[in-house]
């Protein structure tokens, strides 16, 4: 499966800045946009709460690294206003308003009204275990010397969010996807995309999957299940050489459903904030201050500064870009 480049361009890297201006990557974040008027979208950054806590614990200034259309990448301080899920505060999810200049930054935004996977789509198209997914995010050992290079990891849905999964102490129990895709450090906060199949054998009929995007946002990767080398032993049986056994990945990653992200984006508090912005033309609450290390920042505008135009941001049609790059879908009636 060839991945459209737009599925990687919605990804940015989040981390800290050393005193000399060097960017230290901690995890992944991605860009989403909520429509507020025709051709206008209010932009957000989405990431995992534990990634932000790790950066804060490091005492380094929080920073983003974003690719530039002129080449290279800009790394700079990020001053967010974080919001958790409005009704599930222990969910490993944070959003923050963030405006990236489309003329400067090589980034696209996932449109919440077109690209987020919904329960209605799942039911109508029989989405479930075995369907193909892919993750785009950070590989900390190779994140790009001059430019962000998000990696792609392939997999499939291992389990649907049919009931709450206990994530352990301090993390709560939540309805989550499990996917067969080894998660590694750095992929926390990554978008997980569903590759909608060309055809579906549903209720005894071969049905072409037409009339919708070829790729949809399944959710956000927040980590992995762990196991031990002796995990397949009978309960109570003592394994030999216990001291030498290491924790390892079970090959199963945990994904917050896209609908939970949408609930955070569309909470009445966010709706009011967007309304106030449109009405009063206030400056955004976040800022991005480029450093002078490793790139030419002469064309970089500060993120968080009110645009000169009447519209806060111009909506970039993420779905259109994806569909242009994705394979053509078959046309025709059901057979």
Mean pLDDT of 189-213: 82
Whether residue 110 has pLDDT greater than 80: yes
Residue 261 three-state SS = helix
Q: Which residue has the higher pLDDT, 147 or 246?
A: 147
- Provide the pLDDT for residue 196: 87
Asked whether 277 and 44 are in contact (CB, 8 A), the reply is: no
Mean pLDDT of the chain: 77
Write down the H helix ranges in the chain.
6-9, 49-58, 119-125, 258-265, 268-280, 318-325
Instruction: Give the integer Cα–Cα distance in Å for 317 and 128.
Output: 27
Structure token pair of residue 221: 């990767």
Contact 47, 28 (CB under 8 A): yes
Nearest CA to 280 out of 299, 313, 306 is that of 306
Torsion angle defined by CA atoms of residues 135, 140, 145 and 147, in that order, rounded to the nearest 10 degrees: 30
**Of 1, 5, 7, 2, which Cα lies nearest the Cα of 216?**
7
Distance (Å, whole) CA 22 – CA 302: 19
Task: Indicate whether this model's pTM tops 0.85.
Answer: no
DSSP state of 102: T
Contact 306, 86 (CB under 8 A): no
- Cα distance between residue 52 and residue 71, in whole Å: 27
Q: What is the rounded distance in angstroms from the CA atom of residue 265 to the CA atom of residue 85?
A: 9
pLDDT digits (tens, 9 = 90+) for 54-71: 999 999 999 999 999 999
For residue range 22-52, what is the model confidence (pLDDT) as tens digits? 999 999 999 999 887 666 678 899 999 999 9
How far apart, in whole angstroms, are the C-alpha atoms of residue 308 and residue 319?
27
Domain layout of the chain by residue ranges:
6-314
Other Cβ atoms within 10 Å of 239 Cβ, number? 12
Grouping H, G, I as helix, E, B as strand and the rest as coil, residue 189 is coil
Mean pLDDT calculated for residue range 155-175 = 88
How does pLDDT run across 291-306, given as a tens digit for each residue? 433 322 222 222 332 3
């Amino acid at each position: 499966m060839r991945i459209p480049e737009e599925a990687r361009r919605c990804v940015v890297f989040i981390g800290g800045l050393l005193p000399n201006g060097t960017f230290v990557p901690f995890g992944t974040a991605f860009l989403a946009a909520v429509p507020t008027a025709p051709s206008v979208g209010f932009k957000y950054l989405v990431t995992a709460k534990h990634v932000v806590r790790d950066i804060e614990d490091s005492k380094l200034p929080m920073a983003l690294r974003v690719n530039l259309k002129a080449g290279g990448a800009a790394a700079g301080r990020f001053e967010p206003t974080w919001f958790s899920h409005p009704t599930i505060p222990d969910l490993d999810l944070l959003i923050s308003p963030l405006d990236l200049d489309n003329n400067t930054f090589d980034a696209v935004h996932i449109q919440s009204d077109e690209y987020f996977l919904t329960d209605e789509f799942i039911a109508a198209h029989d989405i479930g275990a075995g369907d193909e997914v892919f993750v785009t995010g950070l590989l900390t050992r190779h994140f790009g010397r001059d430019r962000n290079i998000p990696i792609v990891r392939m997999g499939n849905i291992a389990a649907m969010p049919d009931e709450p999964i206990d994530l352990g102490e301090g993390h709560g129990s939540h309805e989550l996807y499990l996917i067969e895709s080894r998660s590694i450090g750095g992929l926390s906060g990554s978008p997980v995309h569903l590759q909608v199949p060309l055809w579906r054998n549903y209720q005894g009929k071969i049905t072409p999957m037409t009339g919708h995007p070829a790729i949809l946002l399944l959710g956000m990767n927040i980590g992995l299940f762990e196991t031990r080398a002796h995990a397949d032993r009978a309960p109570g049986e003592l394994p030999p050489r216990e001291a030498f056994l290491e924790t390892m990945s079970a090959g199963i990653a945990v994904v917050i459903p896209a609908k939970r992200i949408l609930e955070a984006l569309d909470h009445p508090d966010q709706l009011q904030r967007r309304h106030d912005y449109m009405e009063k033309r206030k400056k955004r609450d976040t800022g991005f201050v480029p450093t002078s290390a490793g790139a030419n920042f002469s064309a970089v505008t500060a993120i968080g500064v009110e645009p000169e135009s009447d519209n806060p941001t111009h909506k970039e049609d993420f779905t259109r870009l994806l569909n242009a790059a994705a394979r053509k879908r078959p046309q025709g009636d059901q057979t």
